[in-house]
Amino acid sequence: MVSQAFQSMMSRSGVLLLLLLSVLLLPGSSHCCYQCFISAEDSSRLCSGFYLSRYGIRNMDACFRMLDVVFNNNHRVVAAGRVAKGHEQELKKILEAQILPLADELEYGQVEDSVYERKLQAAAERFITAASRVSRDSGCVPPCGFQTQGGWYDCSSCQYDSCQLPLDCPITDVNVTERQRSAMSCDVPFPLPVSVELVWRFAQGLRTRQLDRFEEVYAGADRVYSIPTTGPQHQGTVMCEIYSEHNSVVRLFFYLSVTSRAADRHQELQELFERSLLPGGRLPSVPGALRRPLPVPSVLLAACLTAVLLLLLLSLGALYWSVTAGETNRLWKD
């Protein structure tokens, strides 16, 4: 009695060992939801009734190869098994609902390989349909940064994948006028670790994201980098890098463009000159904007008033002359 029990136990252990070795040694074998969630014991029960009709023998190794083809190397199964972080238990329940009933059905039978293939393919299709309804919202916020809160559960590796976004963010343009205050904020739209450190760097005169072109200007916890009075020497790229436990989380870049006040005044005069060339000297109409007349210089106004007064005096002089001449002619005739 003891001998039979021992032999049964050894036989079952040998089957499990054979299953593990077969899966590991299969060429091209990769992880998939089947290997992530179905135990070796349940796989042994599922394949115990596999019958090769061509040779008229049971062959569990051929069953394991069929499982590998139907589940592990099926790209549709792999794609369906890529779900949002925290939803892997849903995948486990979906797959167990397809495999465990089959294991109960086929464990003690002698079922031909063609029947096995048909049943396993149907189980795979049902898994794909159900798993495709599981959330795929990764929680990742593009376009940049190492985000620990987001990611996917990937059956091809039986583990979580990160958001796979680059650390370097695109360059943000900041335009200021000379002698104005400028400020850049090192904020990101995703949650950061509790403990972080910031390092601000500067590449003078360059618009770049090449790290070797920057020099460190500040290290600490301040997320705002401000310049009270911006000058031409501040033009260039400012970089903020956020660290957590000495690991980089994200790098933000700001290109600071400084316009001189002389150039700004020249631009205003140029715009005024261009507007004066419009027909009739009229300003272009802007919807919703107040229409204001062009300012009249005081010298021009004085000249106009002087001309009007001279014209009035000349008119009065001509009138006086004509009246006087007429009176003189009348006297001569008398």
* Residue 324, domain member (yes or no): no
Q: What are phi and psi of 297, to 5 degrees?
A: -60, 150
Q: What is the mean pLDDT of residues 28-37?
A: 70
Residue 279: per-residue pLDDT: 58
* Residue 84, domain member (yes or no): yes
**Chain segment 140-152, per-residue pLDDT in tens:** 999 999 998 888 9
Residue 45: per-residue pLDDT: 94
**Chain segment 137-190, per-residue pLDDT in tens:** 988 999 999 998 888 998 888 888 888 899 999 999 999 999 999 999 999 999
**Chain segment 225-284, per-residue pLDDT in tens:** 999 999 999 999 999 999 999 999 999 999 999 998 765 555 555 665 566 555 555 544
Cis? peptide before 287, omega within 30° of 0: no
* Residue 208, domain member (yes or no): yes
Q: How many CB atoms lie within 10 A of CB 45?
A: 20
Q: 118 lies in which domain range?
A: 16-131
User: Is the Cα dihedral 14, 15, 18, 20 positive or negative?
Assistant: negative
Q: Are residue 60 and residue 126 in the same domain, yes or no?
A: yes
Confidence of residue 35 (pLDDT cuts 50, 70, 90): confident
DSSP string, 153-215: EETTTTEEE-----SEEEEEEEEEETTS-EEEE---SS---SS-EEEEEEEET-----GGG-E
* Residue 148, domain member (yes or no): no
Residue 328: per-residue pLDDT: 52
Q: Are residue 22 and residue 127 in the same domain, yes or no?
A: yes
Q: Are residue 24 and residue 92 in the same domain, yes or no?
A: yes
* Residue 226, domain member (yes or no): yes
* Residue 298, domain member (yes or no): no
**Chain segment 78-92, per-residue pLDDT in tens:** 999 999 988 999 999
Q: Are residue 121 and residue 36 in the same domain, yes or no?
A: yes
